[in-house]
Structure 1
């Protein structure tokens, strides 16, 4: 029997190709027609694996969430575990920025996302946090991570010294921020993370 011209479709191959499209061209590039062309198949053949575009996008998003490290949760002291997990989560989001708006909607029915939420909540409860408080801490950590990934503060300024110097006296060096985008944004995330964890440790001790 002759071998097929194109490799047989699989969920993994479809998801990997879809993720490559979104990473390279944005969410708007993910269409059944374009994905089928990238895979060298007909559009209807995709529906054998994913009945809707939303189902495919869920699988793509969940694959990305599966890249987040969880091994420190339940193993390390809870402040260290949250620190390591938050950094890993932010690194994953930074690698796939076009998916951040979809990821921000929450876990839904996605297995990796639910496993992540379960691991964070479980680690906090096992460490001695009340369940309601553990829920709020998990949400708070998520806000910090996603807020830092949704956009760049430093990248929002333009390289026009005159604009800031003439109209905004306290922003005299704001035109330099874009060139220092990574340092500013990563530094802001680390500052927020450490301040948050310090506050939580104080709260835990008071309890």
Structure 2
């Protein structure tokens, strides 16, 4: 007879790791890294050595898992600068954190980009904090969401660009067809090398600064046209 007695678990560690939300999310990220966003609950269960119903004890469906992945990435992004700094300053380190978080798991970028934020409470809290900073700084209220979506779209696109070949914009195989593009691409690459950062990062930093400057200027112009009348935060 088992020394542990009937109905009792043997002493010591179980032969299989206990299933947790974290282990499910880690496995989902691993699958996304391997095959992009095209993974299933069944694939996660197989990788973990359990049956799919076991996964549903923690997540209601695949979309719920993706929402959890978004939350896990969101915890790596520091949005606290928005509490004190002007939005156009706070958004710079936030955008860099965001890009770095996406860069760790580029396979899930497309799935995350199409996920409604109301499926992830942590994302809602983060965006509420950012919107509060825009309003505090007097940004035209009707332009806050368009500005935020523009910045986020740029970050997502930059995350995808970071996994493309470094010479993605070079017409090196047909230089006679586009000599101006060839020169411009070469100069951009040389500039990135001089600054000591990868080409994709140099492009991101330039684009981010230009985008934020443009959005800030657009907001200021609209405020001037309105005679400086800004609705007080409610």
> Which segment drifts farther, 54-63 or 120-129?
54-63
**What is the aligned counterpart of 1:110 among 117, 120, 124?**
120
| In 2, Cα distance between equivalents of 1:11 and 1:56 | 9
Deviation of 1:88 after TM superposition, in Å, equals 1.3
Q: Retained in 2: the 8 A contact 1:158–1:175?
A: no
TM-score in terms of structure 2 length: 0.74
In structure 2, the partner of 1:88 is: 97
- Rounded Cα–Cα distance in structure 2 between residues aligned with 1:176 and 1:160: 13
Q: Which residue is equivalent to 1:68?
A: 77
Q: Name stretches of at least 5 consecutive residues in structure 2 with no aligned partner.
A: 1-8, 224-234
Change (3 A) 1:169 1:129: closer
Matches of 2:89 and 2:142, distance apart in 1: 21
The whole-number CA distance in structure 2 between the counterparts of 1:158 and 1:133 is 32
C-alpha separation between the residues in 2 aligned to 1:201 and 1:167?
Answer: 38
Paired with 1:32 and 1:176, the residues of 2 have a C-alpha distance of 47
Closer, same or farther: CA 126–191 of 1 in aligned 2, 3 Å:
same
Q: 1:136 to 1:34 in 2, by over 3 A?
A: closer
After superposition, where does 1:145-184 map in structure 2 within 5 Å? 145-152=155-162, 155=166, 157=168, 161=172, 163-172=173-182, 183-184=198-199
Contact 1:78 / 1:124 at 8 angstroms: preserved in 2? yes
Instruction: Tell me: higher relative CO, structure 1 or 2? Use CA pairs within 8 A at least 6 residues apart.
Output: 2
Partner of 1:20: 30
Q: Whose helix fraction is larger, Structure 1's or Structure 2's?
A: 1
- Deviation for aligned residue 1:41: 2.0
Aligned match of 1:31 in 40, 60, 66? 40
Write the distance in 2 (CA, Å) between the matches of 1:81 and 1:95. Answer: 22
Which of the residues 208, 215, 231 maps onto 1:193?
A: 208
Residue 150 of structure 1 deviates from its aligned partner by 2.9
- Residues paired across the two proteins, number: 205
Q: Distance in 1 between matches of 2:207 and 2:50?
A: 47
Residue in structure 2 matched with residue 4 of structure 1 by the alignment: 14
The TM-score with structure 1 as length reference comes to 0.82
Aligned to 1:49: 58
Distance 1:150 1:158, change over 3 A: closer
